[in-house]
Structure 1
Amino acid sequence: MEIYPITSLIILLTAIFAYLNVRWIKLPTTIGIIVLALFSSLLIVLAGYLLPVFSVEARKLVANISFEQVLIKIMLGFLLFAGALHIDANKLKKEIWPVIILSTIGTFISTFLVSVMAYYLFQAFQLHVPYIYCLLFGSLISPTDPIAVIGILKRVGIPKSLELKIAGESLFNDGVGVVIFLTILEIATSGMSKFSMADTAVLFLREAGGGILFGGIIGYLAYFLIKSIDNYSVEVLITLTIVMCGYTLADDLHLSGPLAVIIAGIIIGTKGKHDAFSEVTRDYLLKFWDMLDEIFNAVLFLLMGLEMLAIKIDPVVMIIGFIMIFLVLLARYLCVLLPVSILRIWIKFEKNAVAMLTWGGVRGGLSVAMALSLPENMHRDEFVLITYIIVIFSVIVQGLTIGKLARNSN
């Protein structure tokens, strides 16, 4: 099937599921859509026993959608930029150390802890997965993506400082997580015999540091262009150009596209809102990006639900996946607890910051996309199934209960 009919069908399903959710189910939009998509996938699997052709065709359709390409190459830049627009750099400065430490050191700690636990868990089930591949799994499952619960957090009225910590960390550790994953993937592909700590450090710094620098350049370029005119349609077009061309160019230059658009979004969102946007532009631009963010998130969660049709099911690996849910949460708790305990010496944290940051660290589509991008010889099928189980639990269970935890914390 060609790309336009596939895209049309995806939008149709997203609209139908979103309507059903708003009309009757009344869950947060993204969670409601993924629940309906999962239910539909289950019905298709069951229908396959009566009408095998129907199930086969549905699986072929899903298999034709390159989820990892759609998310990493197309959607991710838009989603990160839309989130970054709402981050005020002046307020972020007050939370900068928790955000930086949690999104960098916290992500490294989580990657290491998860990889070690996964390695020994595989050994316990007589599955011999090399440690370097477990390290890849640790890197892809560590980035958090609390986009699905940010709306809930706002409604229950958690402290703005904590909300900023969660949002800021999720944005930056998405970018950092992708860089860590690509760095480890490069080592795994080239072989440990060619591994060099110095070369790895240079590769990481080039990707991360170069992405931040490049994002600053394009962010300020967009800011000065926007400041020189007063036409909301052109100003929206400039931000679209920054995201699409900036993300693509960063990728071509082997820099971190996610970090580039995050920095550009923060610059435009902060400086633009203060002294470049007119009231009309601010209203149109923010509403445009909020709407784009909602649509892309809805489509993303639909695809995540339908992706179940393309995943190879293995009972042993499923058991490992259910165990890994708790091990990943344990790793998340430790990688939050350790930095926060040290930072409390200088910085004041909210009463239940560790619990909120742990449970609010929802895994999302980025983890699934990175797992799907692995070569088959790196135990992709096993890691995809395990990642999928963790993400579904994270989005539905953590996403639906974070509001209650937030209310109890107040």
Structure 2
Amino acid sequence: MSLLALIGTLITLVAALGYLNHRFIGLPDATGIAAIGLAASLLMGVFGQGTQLLAAAQELFGDVDFASLLLHGILGMLLFAGGLHASVAAIAREKWLVLILSTVGVLVSTVAVGFGFYAVTWVVGMPLPLLHCLVFGALISPTDPIAVLGVLRKVGVPASLEARITGESLFNDGMGVVLFLTLLGIAVGGAVPTLGDLGLLLVREMLGGAVFGIGVGLLGLYMIRTANSDAIATLVSLAMATGGYAAAEALGVSAPIAVVFMGLLVGGRGESPRVAEHSSQRRLFTTWEVIDELLNLMLFGLIGLEIITLQTSASGLLLSVLAIPVVLLARYVSVVLPVMAAPRLREWGRGVSFVMTWGGLRGGVSIALALSLASTLPDSHVLIAATYGVVIFSILVQGLTLRRVISRALPAALLAHREAQAEENAAPDPSPGQADPSDAGQAAISASNRS
């Protein structure tokens, strides 16, 4: 099948799934597309055995290199859009919390998932090497910015809490990828790196990605503001999200972190169309909202449909189900431990820790990393099945119930946030000396946790 035919077929399938969901089911677009795609794949796998239709579908999706398409393709654009629309001021206020969660939190979660999953494999009679379980921990621990941002925009949470979850999801990929590649290298027989080597690798990847992203972001911002052309501004932003991502990969620095900084810089001085300083900058928000939405729908559709290529056994399916509580418990530990260690973080309380746990969604990035193991580890099919189980649960259960979890865990904060939003929409633009409405949400979080 030609590249054009493959792309056209995939777009047609996702469009059909989207229409069916919008017309008859009514779930959020991305979640509904993933759910219908998953249901169609499972039904075809169960009732279509031996048919030409199943063989054709498996051949079609077998031609899609999901890992390469995401990790070396659309991820750069999705992360750029995430940075563009993120509140720079809110993330800056929570910078130390975000830093701890995106580094120490990922490390703690990787170890907890690895040992927990290792124990589960022994319980079900499918023991895996501990290193392979730690590789699974590394690929599943970073929260997926694509899934997280897509849900948070529709749920509506206090600004400070949104900044913590969003900031962590945007920046934890660097730590996760370094741990994944390091553990995978050891698992396939490579040399065990020293702590110094690992530290240098982290500095090069994360700090190097930040410096490169800031440099390209400043250059791109200057070009956008001086071009005086919406078309050229859009082209420059696309070049940053794609060419900048590829250049960061070639330089050996973290491409995800680099494009996040590019997006933050381009969007940071005009965080909404209402306050943007330049018309070209202002129109970029609308353009990238459309790009982000379309790519998200395609990605979630592929997540649901790609499962038709999954090869697993009954024991593998059981492991994929048991992996869900292991990952959730590890996520809770990785959130709570930094809170207990740092006095300033104890204001979060159990309610916010629980929301942070439930809101730590996994998505396409974890699946892409898992699929990259197919030709590397002999038991990769087990890890891929477990990853799919966690991601599907994350999208369909955690994503759809997050609003309800927030309303029960943080009722005062959610009420204050909604009231602040209503007042902000009704009031004129705040003056420089006026209080930030998000402060009400932050105060309510503390009050809710004390009660």
The TM tier, using the shorter chain, reads: over 0.9
2:344 counterpart SS class: coil
C-alpha contact (below 8 Å) 2:106/2:142 kept by paired residues: yes
- CA separation of 1:156/1:78 partners in 2, compared to 1, >3 Å: closer, same or farther? closer
TM-score (norm 2): 0.85
Picking from 178, 194, 197, the partner of 1:196 is 194
Counterpart of 1:130, as a letter, is P
Matched, 1:75 2:105: no
Aligned residue number for residue 398 of structure 1: 398
Matched, 1:245 2:243: yes
C-alpha contact (below 8 Å) 1:223/1:272 kept by paired residues: no
C-alpha contact (below 8 Å) 2:363/2:391 kept by paired residues: yes
What is the alpha-carbon distance in structure 2 between the residues aligned to residue 365 and residue 153 of structure 1?
17
Aligned residue number for residue 25 of structure 2: 25
C-alpha contact (below 8 Å) 1:176/1:259 kept by paired residues: no
What is the alpha-carbon distance in structure 1 between the residues aligned to residue 338 and residue 169 of structure 2?
16
Picking from 263, 267, 270, the partner of 2:268 is 270
Aligned residue number for residue 280 of structure 2: 281
What is the alpha-carbon distance in structure 2 between the residues aligned to residue 340 and residue 233 of structure 1?
46
Aligned residue number for residue 388 of structure 1: 388
- CA separation of 1:152/1:68 partners in 2, compared to 1, >3 Å: closer, same or farther? closer
What is the alpha-carbon distance in structure 2 between the residues aligned to residue 114 and residue 306 of structure 1?
27
Counterpart of 1:382, as a letter, is V
Aligned residue number for residue 233 of structure 2: 235
Aligned residue number for residue 186 of structure 2: 187
C-alpha contact (below 8 Å) 1:33/1:302 kept by paired residues: yes
C-alpha contact (below 8 Å) 2:363/2:395 kept by paired residues: yes
1:241 Cα deviation after fit: 0.6
What is the alpha-carbon distance in structure 1 between the residues aligned to residue 42 and residue 189 of structure 2?
39
Cα deviations by residue, 1:314-356 (Å, 9 ceiling, x for unpaired):
1112112211100110000110111123344367437721111
What is the alpha-carbon distance in structure 1 between the residues aligned to residue 152 and residue 217 of structure 2?
28
1:85 counterpart SS class: helix
1:157 Cα deviation after fit: 3.7
1:54 Cα deviation after fit: 1.6
Aligned residue number for residue 222 of structure 1: 220
What is the alpha-carbon distance in structure 2 between the residues aligned to residue 404 and residue 364 of structure 1?
21
Superposition pairs of residues 3-402 of structure 1, within 5 angstroms: 3-49=3-49, 52-145=51-144, 147-148=146-147, 150=149, 152-192=151-191, 194-271=192-269, 278=277, 280-345=279-344, 348-349=347-348, 352-378=351-377, 379-402=379-402
What is the alpha-carbon distance in structure 2 between the residues aligned to residue 242 and residue 154 of structure 1?
24
User: Could you tell which deviates more after superposition, 237-246 or 375-384?
Assistant: 375-384
User: Could you tell which deviates more after superposition, 282-291 or 194-203?
Assistant: 194-203
User: Could you tell which deviates more after superposition, 134-143 or 87-96?
Assistant: 87-96
C-alpha contact (below 8 Å) 2:175/2:202 kept by paired residues: no
Alignment: residue pair count: 408
Cα deviations by residue, 1:21-47 (Å, 9 ceiling, x for unpaired):
122211111110001101111232244
Q: CA RMSD in A?
A: 2.2
C-alpha contact (below 8 Å) 1:226/1:277 kept by paired residues: no
Note the residue ranges of structure 2 that are not aligned, 5 or more in a row: 412-451
C-alpha contact (below 8 Å) 1:320/1:386 kept by paired residues: yes
1:362 counterpart SS class: coil
What is the alpha-carbon distance in structure 2 between the residues aligned to residue 280 and residue 149 of structure 1?
29
- CA separation of 1:136/1:155 partners in 2, compared to 1, >3 Å: closer, same or farther? closer
C-alpha contact (below 8 Å) 1:31/1:148 kept by paired residues: no
User: Could you tell which deviates more after superposition, 337-346 or 219-228?
Assistant: 337-346
1:189 Cα deviation after fit: 3.7
Cα deviations by residue, 1:88-109 (Å, 9 ceiling, x for unpaired):
3222221111111111110010
1:361 Cα deviation after fit: 0.5
C-alpha contact (below 8 Å) 2:144/2:366 kept by paired residues: no
- CA separation of 1:160/1:312 partners in 2, compared to 1, >3 Å: closer, same or farther? same
Counterpart of 2:14, as a letter, is T
Counterpart of 1:8, as a letter, is G
Report 1 or 2 for greater relative contact order, CA contacts < 8 Å, sequence distance ≥ 6: 1
Note the residue ranges of structure 1 that are not aligned, 5 or more in a row: none
What is the alpha-carbon distance in structure 2 between the residues aligned to residue 315 and residue 172 of structure 1?
36
Cα deviations by residue, 1:177-224 (Å, 9 ceiling, x for unpaired):
2232123223334524x5333223222221222111111111111122
What is the alpha-carbon distance in structure 2 between the residues aligned to residue 158 and residue 37 of structure 1?
29
